[in-house]
Structure 1
Amino acid sequence: MSKIVVVGSLNMDLVTNTKNMPKIGETIVGDSFRQIPGGKGANQAVAIARLGGAVGMIGKVGDDSFGETLRNALMHDNVDTKYVFKENDCSTGVAAITVDSQANNAIIVIPGANFKITKEDIDHSLDMIHGAETIVTQLEVPIDVVHYSLLKAKEAGKYTILNPAPAQYLEDEIIGNVDLLIPNETELEILAGMEIKNEEDILAAARKLMAKGVKQLIVTLGEKGSIYLAEQGVQRFKAYKVKAVDTTAAGDSFVGALAVALSNKLEMTQAIDFASKVGALTVTKFGAQSSLPFKDDITHFEGDLV
């Protein structure tokens, strides 16, 4: 039985590399093209599995070849796909990504089947949720499904983790069902409804969300590390210094690593350090799931804190 369940998105990333971005109406010759499994939900599930976690995925794909490929990729990484549903007459979610020689990117996301998942699908998946310890979700599926998943998880006494990305405002009743909230600065700013200019603002915004029911909160700050807030106080964590190649899925790997560490009963300080290492290793490789490290990679990781 899966100890961790991820409710979320599955996308096929269609990545084109080119020297320069095309102008409107211009046709240019690119350098390379790759199809890489992605989607925040699937990325987090694969990150959990590669780090040794027992994980199941609840999501939806279309009735096309991308859907089959994404399901097979999850199964290859030992993710339980029993409740990765298929929507007929619908495309699987895709992200068309163009990256130029300066690492600038332009992305078009077509949610496809990700936006077809329903509360009824969650009801059909309740045995997986009830058998787990931790439920992880994000915001690349309909908000009402996120809300319902968190509600059902809390009714069953589960530990809930929400990565509020892509950034958008959430109603208080959603926030109130979150045990651990993991936003970056931009997401925190939108959730709290206040401008953030410095660490004092970060702490004020975080406490505003904790007043709505969030038990713990980790604000990720990229190369500046992260800040952890709970009733016991505030702790600051530095990031590990690495040569970044591509930051895609770094946040997803951090979230997945935290879920694994906490399910293994590590203290939060140890869990955040572990997740920081995983996030650092992720940015040293290209792509989404193609960049996610394995448990042995973390064991042999020797990095310096910034």
Structure 2
Amino acid sequence: MTGQTVICAGHVNWDVTLYVDRLPAADGEAAIVNQSQNGGGSASNTAYMLASLGCAPVLLGSTGDDEYGALVRNELTDVGVDCRHLEYVDDGITTVKYLIVDESGEVMVLASDGANETFTSNSLSDDTFDSATHLHLTSQRPDTAYDLAKRAVDAGIPVSFDPGRRLDLREYQPIYRLADILFLNENEATAVKQADVLDGAEGITVIKHGAEGATAESEELTVSHAGYETEPVDTTGAGDAFGAGFIAATLNDKPLERALAVGNACGALTTQCSGARSPLSWSDIESLIDG
């Protein structure tokens, strides 16, 4: 599979990752055993990994006109992500997230405000939608996400949505009903089901269970995949890798069961590396799936 254009819209950050011997309790202390810095943000992570899988991702987002914004853009461009719609905000500050990772690979995130939600749906021309085969939305302002989803639906382009950690703080229900694929982790899925906000939704809901695999649910069927046993180094970005793999497999006309397997393989492979991004390859994915 090559060249299928996937628009990825949402957060583009700079990540500062601290690896600690444990996550401290309140008023506690932990030792930093290592640290790293690199690009992050769910939309840019997914675009990065889609590029490594042979897609042609187009990234819609915004950064400050600072050093971190330039570093993020260069990192993504180097792997083949189309960053022409990644906006610089004059006098803006690129959003920085501080990720604290313990020895089991579990992550705690601290975020600063920045420029990553300055972009609007008007930043993309109709021509961009005309040439696209998929729209992937991640956490962003609900009005921007809805406008993008509506334009994609009107253009006949499938939509996927991964709302992320801000699910409980934002009114995303209208986007759920437009999405063909909704990605949620277990906590998000519980919150969504308790609120009954998926009533009337006709797409597939994919629930990510971390190391326990994933489940895809629709009105017609439920399909599960148990995932793969690995010893995680860092779980940052594993959910974005899952989404990239699932989307790539779907665009390659793979059945739902195979798409789940590919998504789980991508997530598992990403946990074997430090940071939110690692290049994925079909040979590594197929080796893990086929044992």
The normalised TM-score by structure 2 is 0.89
Partner of 2:161: 162
**Residues 112 and 248 of structure 1: is their aligned pair in 2 closer, same or farther, counting only changes over 3 Å?**
same
Partner of 2:194: 193
User: Does 2:243 match 1:255?
Assistant: yes
One of 276, 279, 282 as aligned partner of 2:264? 276
Equivalent residue runs for 1:40-59 within 5 Å:
40-59=42-61
One of 277, 280, 284 as aligned partner of 1:293? 280
| Distance (Å, rounded) in 2 between the aligned partners of 1:273 and 1:130 | 30
Q: What is the letter of the counterpart of residue 300 of structure 1?
A: S
| Number of aligned positions between the proteins | 287
Q: Cα offset for 1:16? A: 2.3
| Distance (Å, rounded) in 2 between the aligned partners of 1:105 and 1:136 | 24
Q: Cα offset for 1:40? A: 0.5
The normalised TM-score by structure 1 is 0.85
Please say if residues 172 and 212 of structure 1, whose CA atoms lie closer than 8 Å, have aligned partners that are also in contact.
Answer: no
Q: What is the letter of the counterpart of residue 244 of structure 2?
A: G
| Distance (Å, rounded) in 1 between the aligned partners of 2:23 and 2:188 | 28
Please say if residues 130 and 153 of structure 1, whose CA atoms lie closer than 8 Å, have aligned partners that are also in contact.
Answer: no
One of 231, 235, 249 as aligned partner of 2:223? 235
User: Does 2:14 match 1:12?
Assistant: yes
Q: Cα offset for 1:111? A: 4.0
Please say if residues 3 and 263 of structure 1, whose CA atoms lie closer than 8 Å, have aligned partners that are also in contact.
Answer: no
**Residues 2 and 25 of structure 1: is their aligned pair in 2 closer, same or farther, counting only changes over 3 Å?**
same
SS in 1 for 2:284: helix
Q: What is the letter of the counterpart of residue 253 of structure 2?
A: K
Please say if residues 9 and 138 of structure 2, whose CA atoms lie closer than 8 Å, have aligned partners that are also in contact.
Answer: yes
1:64-85 CA distance string (max 9 Å, x none): 0110111111111111111111
Q: Cα offset for 1:253? A: 0.4
Q: What is the letter of the counterpart of residue 280 of structure 2?
A: P
**Residues 15 and 303 of structure 1: is their aligned pair in 2 closer, same or farther, counting only changes over 3 Å?**
farther
Please say if residues 175 and 212 of structure 1, whose CA atoms lie closer than 8 Å, have aligned partners that are also in contact.
Answer: no
Partner of 1:172: 173
Q: Cα offset for 1:225? A: 1.6
Q: Cα offset for 1:55? A: 1.3
Partner of 1:65: 67
1:10-39 CA distance string (max 9 Å, x none): 111111234466899999974433112111
**Residues 136 and 171 of structure 1: is their aligned pair in 2 closer, same or farther, counting only changes over 3 Å?**
closer
Q: Cα offset for 1:229? A: 1.4
1:102-127 CA distance string (max 9 Å, x none): 65654321241112112332xx4432
| Distance (Å, rounded) in 2 between the aligned partners of 1:224 and 1:164 | 21
**Residues 189 and 17 of structure 1: is their aligned pair in 2 closer, same or farther, counting only changes over 3 Å?**
same
Please say if residues 175 and 214 of structure 1, whose CA atoms lie closer than 8 Å, have aligned partners that are also in contact.
Answer: no
Moved more, 74-83 or 224-233: 224-233
| Distance (Å, rounded) in 1 between the aligned partners of 2:28 and 2:226 | 44
Partner of 1:138: 138
Please say if residues 18 and 30 of structure 1, whose CA atoms lie closer than 8 Å, have aligned partners that are also in contact.
Answer: yes
| Distance (Å, rounded) in 2 between the aligned partners of 1:171 and 1:247 | 26
**Residues 176 and 235 of structure 1: is their aligned pair in 2 closer, same or farther, counting only changes over 3 Å?**
same
1:220-245 CA distance string (max 9 Å, x none): 11122222112321122111111211
User: Does 2:216 match 1:214?
Assistant: no
Please say if residues 63 and 115 of structure 2, whose CA atoms lie closer than 8 Å, have aligned partners that are also in contact.
Answer: yes
**Residues 163 and 26 of structure 1: is their aligned pair in 2 closer, same or farther, counting only changes over 3 Å?**
closer
Partner of 1:224: 212
Percent identity between the two aligned chains? 25
Moved more, 225-234 or 167-176: 167-176
Q: What is the letter of the counterpart of residue 132 of structure 1?
A: A
Please say if residues 239 and 276 of structure 1, whose CA atoms lie closer than 8 Å, have aligned partners that are also in contact.
Answer: yes
| Distance (Å, rounded) in 1 between the aligned partners of 2:96 and 2:35 | 14
Q: Could you list the runs of 5+ residues in structure 2 that have no partner in the other structure?
A: none
